[in-house]
């Protein structure tokens, strides 16, 4: 069902037909359609968000049950001077930026290369999507094993092939650990971008490409002016989704480094987990979480604005 | 499709890049599999063997023994996965249709709101959520897990289905309205059959989200007999005494296999589905 | 109401009702019938111990037909989280297996029942003092030892000879120990790991380092208020940095990760618990009892400058919860687990862990097996309590992050310790 020569943004709405008037009946229909979905999300997600914001204003440590009390913005003040918090923020941005940037780029390149209608490519395309499907916890343990200093296959192969002289302490070195978790996540997420861009490439109308060809533009020009224009929107949406997902990514990092060594691979979510379940400081953990939501919200708004401006 | 001629050099380069990419994609999967058939102490070799010389299925046999049966986790994962797909599809279909077809003032706000629910690190709220579930009697229950998985996957599902529905010309529905069909009939008899690839794609993603989810079943299910595969793996292998890499990898294979199979067989629909709709919406 | 809405409403209600009824099948049985005890533990999660503990449960249930045990399995690293969530949601179990800081954390949450009134004086006297007194808070005991697991000093005799050290004369003081490690590193091949030290970012990592801190006279808890930037601690971190850079040990590893290395005969000095023989043998089935006894010796941890040898324990313990409605039955089960002939024979002894005093008399192998008797005679008397307290977890993690910085980064030790101290002062 392809639309013919459609610009990527036409809206297909209509007023509620002739049968329904706007007003009470329309509202009722609307509620019944949207209601169920919204209530499910409301119970499981919105309620805890609100509860979290509320808890962040309390001093609430499980190990001091007699000390629980309303404490205004104490937790937030504490956060500002918490060096580990800022380190976690920095780690999260660096980590997310690298993972999304690299996956997006590699996904794009591979999607372009896999365009040609060779049968083997169709088969390959299916198979290279597999890393996306594997559960995070499995990826975490798998790469933990592969990156092991002594018994990991990666060190083994690097040394044997002569690329490095001594084994690298992947997960024990601050910078290398970050590289290792980035590699694991890129491995996992590139297929998603590959899939999205492939779909996008297929939806570019023939005519646009033919026109470019007939005009005598080079491959590069065709890419830059025709293909890219169509892919931009997908890129924005896909990267937004992945940025949000990586900001909150838990299983892989937890299994591979637990946030270590020291706090060098601790992202915000890992830090929240540690504060909540190792320091039992629920109030503070909620405060970090609330700030986190606000940051992501701001980012999303900026993104979607950007989307509007582009079109 | 327009195809330009490319030079031999370029072809070779492309082939080389693709080969590297394929090896890069496959090697970890191969490694997972080959580790799962090595003997327990072999996996601690300083020079791990690329091709296990003495393969063994001992880890696979061990999966179904003792009080922690991987088969139980598998059953739970399947039930909650399918339940999530069904529930999420219904809810997302209705919601996606509403967001696509109806015009109302709160639309932007609701869309943004839906996106927001994806952003929150739920780690923080496990205790209030646990309390809430306890009050609603949802702990250690399939329905509790299904609800949580559904809420996790709804934003993406709604977005995808909205995109697909967007791509269906209104004219089809308008003639149905003139004929006197109700919204419900339009939805089920006209719109749905036209977005089948998209529906399949969305169902696959929903299943994935449910299957791979770690945090919810980890915290909202305390009885091991109700746990799904991801927390089951943590339970079975991140123990005090040792890292049982062989067993862990065998379980990993079992955990990954169903979703891989589903995904690869449905792959055609995914690409087709995404092409037809969401990408444009 | 329009028919659509009715339809939807009906659907939602049906789903919720059906699901609820379905899911509710997992809840516990009705109030009449046998007493059911919820027993949260990690023993049934570990391959080595699972079947044995299940056997214990079955035997107890057979001997006590009115009581059923519901074993709730949890991973060792997760168990405190799980118990915390359960306790705070009002869903606490009756009994739990705990270790180390778990007991103090649970005590501070107000979750535990003091055991002094639950057990006979006879039983309480039967516990080794150094083990039972680890669990005293506010003058009362809040747990019961279930298998001692103290940190001893094990050495591989063959590798010692190869390194030019005397296997009959293992290092006795901390300084001797350091010199032995340096000497061994020069003599032994790269593939041999000289010492197995837990430097993971966990509270357990700190517990494992604590005996060494004591031996190095670097105990941070000696001064009040506590300080992490003392010269002794700086010296200790320098030692760890030397160990990481000189490849004496593997950085950031958990204790358990050294066990396979020991099983392969590639570890010189090990600092593990009583059950080490069982664990190593299960990893390397070709290793016989005699061979193990010949190869490995056990002594106490190196002494500090004053000649005092001290170590800590990460004993497995059993705790009873304050909210349990069946404390009497729970106490009965606990007593069975820690002191019955059956439990000692089938589980505690097999694991090589230390039972009660009378347990040792009833099972003389404890005194004839060189490894076990080494622990009983040398190690256990040297056990000192770890100063668990309100902020212990936080302090432990701050310390371990400093350890990791020292071992894997380039910051100066002075900078690291002042960072640590700054964090300590910010604890609220």
Chains in contact with A, where contact means 3 or more Cβ–Cβ distances below 8 Å, are B, C
Distance CA A74, CA A286 (A): 12
Is B259 close to A195, i.e. CB distance below 8 A? no
Handedness of CA A177, A178, A181, A182 (dihedral sign): negative
User: Of the candidates B39, B235, B238, which has an alpha carbon nearest to the alpha carbon of residue C283?
Assistant: B39
- Nearest CB among B3, B116, B125 relative to A48 is that of B125
Residue A46 pLDDT > 60: yes
User: Of the candidates A157, A155, A172, which has an alpha carbon nearest to the alpha carbon of residue C245?
Assistant: A172
A118 and A199 share one domain: yes
Q: Residue A94's pLDDT is what?
A: 94
The tens digit of pLDDT for each residue in C91-147 reads 789 999 998 788 888 888 888 999 988 888 888 888 888 788 888 888 899 989 898
B46 touches chain C (CB under 8 A): yes
Say which residues have a Cβ less than 8 Å from residue A218's Cβ, sequence separation at least 6: none
**How many beta-carbon pairs under 8 angstroms link B with C?**
123
Most confident listed range (B267-271, C52-56, C102-106, C236-240): C236-240
The tens digit of pLDDT for each residue in A186-235 reads 999 999 898 888 878 877 777 777 777 777 767 677 677 777 777 887 78
Strands C267-270, C193-196: pairing kind = parallel
Return the domain boundaries, chain C.
35-142+316-352, 153-312+387-427
Residue with tokens 């077809």: B101
Packed helices A268-277 and A83-113: angle between N→C axes, nearest 10 degrees: 140
Residue A114 pLDDT > 80: no
Say which residues have a Cβ less than 8 Å from residue A74's Cβ, sequence separation at least 6: A59
The tens digit of pLDDT for each residue in B47-94 reads 777 777 778 887 777 776 655 677 888 889 999 999 999 999 989 888
Looking at domain B67-275, what is its CATH homologous superfamily? MetI-like (1.10.3720.10)
- Contacts with B, C 134-193, CB within 8 Å: 191
The tens digit of pLDDT for each residue in C372-386 reads 888 888 888 888 888
The tens digit of pLDDT for each residue in A48-64 reads 878 888 888 888 887 77
| Closest CA of chain C from B146, distance in Å | 9
Query: What tokens were used for B213?
Result: 């989810």
The tens digit of pLDDT for each residue in B181-213 reads 777 777 777 777 777 878 888 888 899 889 988
- For residue A183, being part of any structural domain is answered with yes
Q: Write the ipTM.
A: 0.82
Q: Residue B252's pLDDT is what?
A: 86
Return the domain boundaries, chain B.
8-59, 67-275
Q: List chain C residues with CB under 8 Å of A173.
A: 408
Q: Residue B241's pLDDT is what?
A: 40
Q: List chain B residues with CB under 8 Å of A46.
A: 117
Query: Which is higher by pLDDT, C239 or A263?
Result: C239
Q: List chain B residues with CB under 8 Å of C42.
A: 239-240
- For residue A192, being part of any structural domain is answered with yes
Q: List chain C residues with CB under 8 Å of A65.
A: 108-110
Average pLDDT for residues C235-258, to the nearest whole number?
90
A278 touches chain B (CB under 8 A): no
Strand order from edge to edge, sheet including C95-99: C67-73, C35-41, C95-99, C316-320, C144-145
The tens digit of pLDDT for each residue in C31-79 reads 457 889 999 998 887 767 888 898 999 999 999 988 999 888 887 777 8
Residue B260 pLDDT > 60: yes
Going by pLDDT thresholds of 50, 70 and 90, the confidence category of residue C240 is very high
**How many beta-carbon pairs under 8 angstroms link A with C?**
93
Strands C267-270, C153-156: pairing kind = antiparallel
A150 and A226 share one domain: yes
The CATH number of the structural domain formed by C35-142+316-352 is 3.40.190.10
Q: List chain C residues with CB under 8 Å of B143.
A: 15-16, 18-20, 22-23
| Closest CA of chain B from C83, distance in Å | 10
Around Cβ B120, how many Cβ atoms within 10 Å?
Answer: 22
Q: Residue A21's pLDDT is what?
A: 46
- For residue A47, being part of any structural domain is answered with yes
A269 and A225 share one domain: yes
User: Of the candidates C177, C295, C180, C197, which has an alpha carbon nearest to the alpha carbon of residue C241?
Assistant: C197
Is B35 close to A145, i.e. CB distance below 8 A? yes
Distance CA B137, CA C24 (A): 8
CATH of the domain at A112: 1.10.3720.10
Q: Tell me if the pTM is above 0.90.
A: no
Classified as helix, coil or strand, B5 is: coil
The answer to whether B36 and B17 are in contact (CB under 8 A) is: no
Query: What tokens were used for C208?
Result: 């494992």
User: Of the candidates C267, C281, C264, which has an alpha carbon nearest to the alpha carbon of residue C352?
Assistant: C281
A13 and A51 share one domain: yes
Q: List chain A residues with CB under 8 Å of B170.
A: 12, 14
Distance CA C206, CA C200 (A): 8
Total structural domains within chain A:
2
- Chain centre to alpha carbon of residue A212: 34
Q: List chain A residues with CB under 8 Å of C283.
A: none
B183 touches chain C (CB under 8 A): yes
- For residue A139, being part of any structural domain is answered with yes
Around Cβ A14, how many Cβ atoms within 10 Å?
Answer: 13
Residue A59, beta-bridge partner list = A69
Residue C38, beta-bridge partner list = C70
A216 and A277 share one domain: yes
Distance CA B33, CA B47 (A): 17
- For residue A267, being part of any structural domain is answered with yes
Query: What tokens were used for B262?
Result: 């589903």
Note down the domain range covering A19. Answer: 2-55
Q: Residue A55's pLDDT is what?
A: 83
- Nearest CB among A261, A277, A279 relative to C408 is that of A261
Is B241 close to C47, i.e. CB distance below 8 A? yes
C27 touches chain B (CB under 8 A): yes
- Nearest CB among B66, B94, B222 relative to C82 is that of B222
The answer to whether A203 and B280 are in contact (CB under 8 A) is: yes
- Contacts with B, A 208-237, CB within 8 Å: 209-210, 213, 219, 233-234
The answer to whether C110 and C322 are in contact (CB under 8 A) is: yes
Kindly report the CATH class assigned to C153-312+387-427: alpha beta
**How many beta-carbon pairs under 8 angstroms link A with B?**
304
Going by pLDDT thresholds of 50, 70 and 90, the confidence category of residue A8 is very low
Q: List chain A residues with CB under 8 Å of B275.
A: 2, 199-200, 202-203
The tens digit of pLDDT for each residue in C210-228 reads 999 999 999 998 888 888 9
Is B147 close to A129, i.e. CB distance below 8 A? no
| Mutation to test the B interface, candidates C6, C26, C147, C200, most B Cβ within 10 Å | C26
- For residue A42, being part of any structural domain is answered with yes
- Contacts with B, C 280-299, CB within 8 Å: 283-284
Say which range, A1-5, A272-276, B235-239, has the weakest mean pLDDT: A1-5
Q: Residue B79's pLDDT is what?
A: 92
């Amino acid at each position: 069902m392809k639309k013919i020569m459609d610009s990527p943004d036409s809206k297909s709405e209509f007023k509620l037909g002739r049968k329904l008037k706007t007003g009470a009946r329309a509202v009722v229909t609307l509620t019944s359609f949207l209601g169920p979905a919204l209530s499910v999300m409301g119970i499981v997600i919105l309620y805890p968000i609100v509860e979290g914001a509320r808890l962040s204003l309390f001093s609430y440590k499980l190990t001091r049950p007699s000390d629980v009390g309303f404490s205004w913005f104490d937790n937030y003040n504490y956060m500002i001077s918490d060096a580990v918090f800022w380190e976690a923020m920095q780690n999260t941005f660096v980590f997310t930026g690298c993972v999304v940037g690299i996956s997006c780029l590699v996904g794009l390149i591979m999607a372009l290369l896999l365009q040609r209608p060779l049968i083997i490519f169709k088969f390959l395309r299916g198979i290279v999507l597999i890393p996306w499907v594997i559960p995070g916890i499995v990826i975490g343990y798998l790469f933990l094993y592969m990156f092991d200093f002594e018994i990991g296959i990666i060190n083994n192969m690097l040394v044997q092939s002569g690329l490095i002289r001594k084994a690298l302490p992947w997960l024990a070195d601050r910078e290398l650990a970050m590289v290792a978790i980035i590699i694991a996540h890129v491995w996992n997420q590139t297929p998603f971008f590959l899939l999205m861009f492939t779909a996008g490439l297929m939806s570019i109308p023939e005519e646009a490409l033919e026109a470019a060809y007939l005009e005598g533009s080079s491959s590069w020009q065709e890419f830059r002016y025709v293909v890219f224009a169509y892919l931009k929107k997908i890129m924005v949406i896909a990267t937004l989704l992945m940025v949000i997902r990586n900001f909150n990514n838990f299983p892989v990092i937890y299994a591979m480094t637990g946030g270590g060594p020291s706090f060098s691979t601790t992202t915000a979510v890992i830090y929240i987990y540690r504060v909540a379940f190792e320091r039992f400081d629920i109030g503070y953990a909620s405060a970090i979480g609330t700030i986190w939501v606000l940051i992501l919200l701001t980012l999303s708004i900026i993104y979607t604005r950007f989307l509007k401006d582009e079109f | 499709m327009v195809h330009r001629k490319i030079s031999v050099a370029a072809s070779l380069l492309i082939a080389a890049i693709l080969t590297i990419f394929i090896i890069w994609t496959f090697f970890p999967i191969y490694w997972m599999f080959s580790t799962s058939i090595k003997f327990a102490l072999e996996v601690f070799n300083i020079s791990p063997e690329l091709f296990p010389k003495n393969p063994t299925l001992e880890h696979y046999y061990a999966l179904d023994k003792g009080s922690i049966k991987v088969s139980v986790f598998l059953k739970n994962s399947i039930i909650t996965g399918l339940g999530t797909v069904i529930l999420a599809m219904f809810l997302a279909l209705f919601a996606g249709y509403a967001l696509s077809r109806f015009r109302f003032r709160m639309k932007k706000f609701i869309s943004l709101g839906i996106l927001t629910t994806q952003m929150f690190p739920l780690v923080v709220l496990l205790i209030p959520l646990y309390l809430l579930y306890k009050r609603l009697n949802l702990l250690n229950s399939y329905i509790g897990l299904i609800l949580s998985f559904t809420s996790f996957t709804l934003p993406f599902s709604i977005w995808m289905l909205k995109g697909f529905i967007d791509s269906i010309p209104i004219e089809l529905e308008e003639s149905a309205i003139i004929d006197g069909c109700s919204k419900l009939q339009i939805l089920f008899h006209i719109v749905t059959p036209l977005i089948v690839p998209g529906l399949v794609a969305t169902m696959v993603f929903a299943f994935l989200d449910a299957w791979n989810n770690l945090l919810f079943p980890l915290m909202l299910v305390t009885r091991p007999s109700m746990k799904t595969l991801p927390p089951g793996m943590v339970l079975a292998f991140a123990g005090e005494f040792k890292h049982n890499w062989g067993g862990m990898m065998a379980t990993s294979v079992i955990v990954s296999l169903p979703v891989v199979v589903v995904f690869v067989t449905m792959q055609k629909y995914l690409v087709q589905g995404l092409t037809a709709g969401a990408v444009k919406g | 109401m329009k028919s659509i809405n009715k339809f939807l409403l009906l659907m939602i209600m049906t789903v919720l009702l059906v699901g609820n009824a379905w899911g509710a099948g997992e809840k516990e049985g009705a109030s009449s019938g046998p007493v059911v005890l919820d027993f949260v533990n990690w023993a049934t999660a570990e391959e080595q111990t699972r079947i044995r503990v299940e056997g214990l449960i079955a035997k107890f249930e057979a001997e006590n037909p009115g009581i059923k045990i519901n074993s709730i399995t949890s991973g060792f690293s997760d168990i405190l989280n799980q118990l915390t969530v359960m306790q705070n949601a009002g869903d606490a179990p009756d009994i739990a297996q705990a270790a180390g800081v778990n007991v103090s954390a649970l005590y501070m949450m107000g979750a535990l029942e003091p055991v002094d009134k639950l057990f006979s004086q006879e039983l309480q006297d039967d516990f080794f003092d150094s083990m039972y007194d680890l669990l005293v808070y506010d003058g009362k005991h809040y747990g019961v030892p279930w298998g001692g697991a103290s940190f001893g000093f094990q050495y591989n005799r063959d590798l010692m000879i190869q390194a030019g050290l005397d296997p009959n004369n293992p290092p006795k003081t901390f300084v001797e120990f350091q010199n032995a490690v340096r000497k061994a590193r020069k003599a032994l091949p790269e593939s041999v790991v000289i010492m197995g030290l837990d430097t993971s970012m966990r509270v357990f990592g700190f517990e494992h380092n604590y005996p060494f801190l004591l031996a190095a006279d670097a105990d941070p808890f000696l001064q009040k208020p506590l300080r992490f930037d003392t010269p002794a601690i700086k010296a200790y971190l320098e030692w760890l940095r030397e160990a990481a850079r000189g490849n004496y040990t593997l950085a950031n590893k958990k204790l358990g990760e050294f066990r396979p290395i020991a099983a392969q005969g590639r570890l010189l000095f090990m600092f593990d618990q009583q059950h080490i023989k069982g664990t190593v043998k299960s990893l390397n089935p070709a290793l016989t009892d005699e061979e193990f006894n010949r190869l490995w010796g056990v002594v106490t941890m190196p002494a500090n400058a004053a000649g005092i040898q001290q170590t800590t324990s990460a004993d497995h313990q059993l705790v009873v919860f304050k909210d349990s409605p069946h404390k009497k039955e729970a106490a009965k089960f606990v007593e069975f687990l820690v002191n019955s002939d059956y439990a000692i024979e089938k589980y505690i002894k097999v694991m090589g862990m230390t039972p009660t005093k009378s347990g040792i008399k009833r099972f003389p192998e404890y005194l004839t097996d060189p490894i076990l008797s080494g622990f009983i005679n040398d190690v256990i008397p040297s056990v000192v309590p770890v100063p668990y307290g309100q902020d212990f977890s936080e302090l432990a993690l701050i310390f371990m992050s400093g350890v990791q910085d020292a071992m894997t980064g380039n910051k100066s030790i002075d900078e690291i310790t002042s960072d640590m101290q700054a964090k300590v002062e910010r604890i609220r």
